[in-house]
Amino acid sequence: MTLSEKILAKSSSRENVSPGEIVTCNIDLLMLHEITGPLAVKVFEEIGFKKVWRREKIAVIFDHDIPPSDANSAQQMKAMRLFVQKQEIKKFYDVGRGGIAHQMLVQEGLAKPSSIVVGADSHTCTAGAVGAFAVGVGSTEAAAILGTGKMWFKVPSTIKIEVMGEVKQPVTSKDIILDVIGMIGASGALYKAVEFSGEAISKMSIGARMTLTNMAVEMGAKTGLIEPDEVTYKHFQSLNESIEFLKSDSDAQYEQTFRFNSSQIGPKIAAPFEVDKVMDVKDVEGRRIDQAFLGSCTNGRIEDLRIATRILEGRKIHSRVRLLVNPASMKIYKQAVQEELIEKLVDSGAAVCCPNCGPCLGMSQGVLAADEVCISTSNRNFVGRMGDRSSKVYLASPATVAASALAGEIADPRRFWN
């Protein structure tokens, strides 16, 4: 069995499972945020549930529009706070106390290897970076889990993605995943699990791995995951936790295996309006931009801020461009202050904002006007994603975003790399 199959078998108390089988699994962690949470609570009550199944297995994390930008948004949070109090949920991260949910699940060790993590958000698959089987669901499904602790799954077949070679800065794991999505396509892994492995992955930090698993859903995948190793072990050790984990069998059946050589992958970019419209940065170099965004659950981590700062340090961003920086969590924000990254970013002209999802989905803090163009480290470039219907989003790595902010146009980060 593959890692996904083993986790699903364990969680449904079966010896074996195979692709296509329907299993009902015990859920180890359920995440709600302030947008999908209130509807889940409403449906939870509508079904007739009174008490959540296990309060210690529920995490409520505010992240989409924090601090709230209008009264409706504030009302959503107020409603969720009441639910958290009533149900005595302790894993609750309010404004200024947490950050982007997908970051928090991994950073705080809430998502464990070989566990099933369900979140009412499509990028929940990010937690696969520590070897969890992590999937996004809607509010009604989340409501059923709140009450029962269970969810049915169709066991997915697994696609294996082997990444060999070495990822050399300023190329990052973002360029790797964009290259992978460009090849597999936006629906190429539909309903499937994607397992990342290989030499290049084993050398990546947990943060860099999260960028890979985060975007698994952009190829249609049910989840993306990475088998735990020494890096995973050390991550949990730093949280004073020891871990046990499952591994894929050596004779596991993969539906397909794709091999990539990271040494041959340069800076990549996804052009509007599809995530799989991937090309080399040099193919679109010179296109004017109005805004550059460094942040999101894809790329708001300390390694992302570091590489961007290395490019921006001592330089000024182009006078026509706004650069928005949203660290993915308060912890990363603080670390970036301690490492003096924030000071250097602000000196370069960046607007450093509160950890939240805002700009990525055109919700708050950096919404685009008509015809504006943004280069972003986030994960979606659909029509109107970051603002006006006529605005455009290019997806790229933190290094490419930083380089483009300096140039005022899409730029290859190798131009600014010493």
Residues lying near another protein in the complex (CB under 8 A) are found at 22, 24, 35-36, 39, 43, 46-48, 120-122, 124, 136-141, 143-144, 147-148, 150, 152, 154, 186-187, 190-191, 220, 222, 361, 380, 382-384, 389
Closer to another protein by Cβ: residue 85 or 187 = 187
Q: How far is the CB of 240 from another protein (least distance, A)?
A: 32
Closer to another protein by Cβ: residue 102 or 235 = 102
Closer to another protein by Cβ: residue 186 or 252 = 186
Q: How far is the CB of 389 from another protein (least distance, A)?
A: 6
Q: How far is the CB of 156 from another protein (least distance, A)?
A: 9
Closer to another protein by Cβ: residue 158 or 404 = 158
Q: How far is the CB of 152 from another protein (least distance, A)?
A: 6
Q: How far is the CB of 290 from another protein (least distance, A)?
A: 20
Closer to another protein by Cβ: residue 325 or 393 = 393
Q: How far is the CB of 228 from another protein (least distance, A)?
A: 25
Closer to another protein by Cβ: residue 220 or 355 = 220
Print the SS3 string covering the chain: CCHHHHHHHHHCCCCCCCCCCEEEEECCEEEECCCCHHHHHHHHHHHCCCCCCCHHHEEEECCCCCCCCCHHHHHHHHHHHHHHHHCCCCEEECCCCCECHHHHHHHCCCCCCCCEEEECCHHHHHHHHHCCEEEECCHHHHHHHHHHCEEEEECCCEEEEEEECCCCCCCCHHHHHHHHHHHHCCCCCCCCEEEEECHHHHCCCHHHHHHHHHHHHHHCCCEEEECCCHHHHHHHHCCCCCCCCCCCCCCCCCCEEEEEEHHHCCCEEECCCCCCCEEEHHHHCCCECCEEEECHHHHCCHHHHHHHHHHHCCCCCCCCCEEEECCCEHHHHHHHHHCCHHHHHHHHCEEECCCCCHHHHCCCCCCECCCCEEEECCCCCCCCCCECCCCEEEECCHHHHHHHHHHCECCCHHHHCC
Closer to another protein by Cβ: residue 208 or 368 = 368
Q: How far is the CB of 198 from another protein (least distance, A)?
A: 25
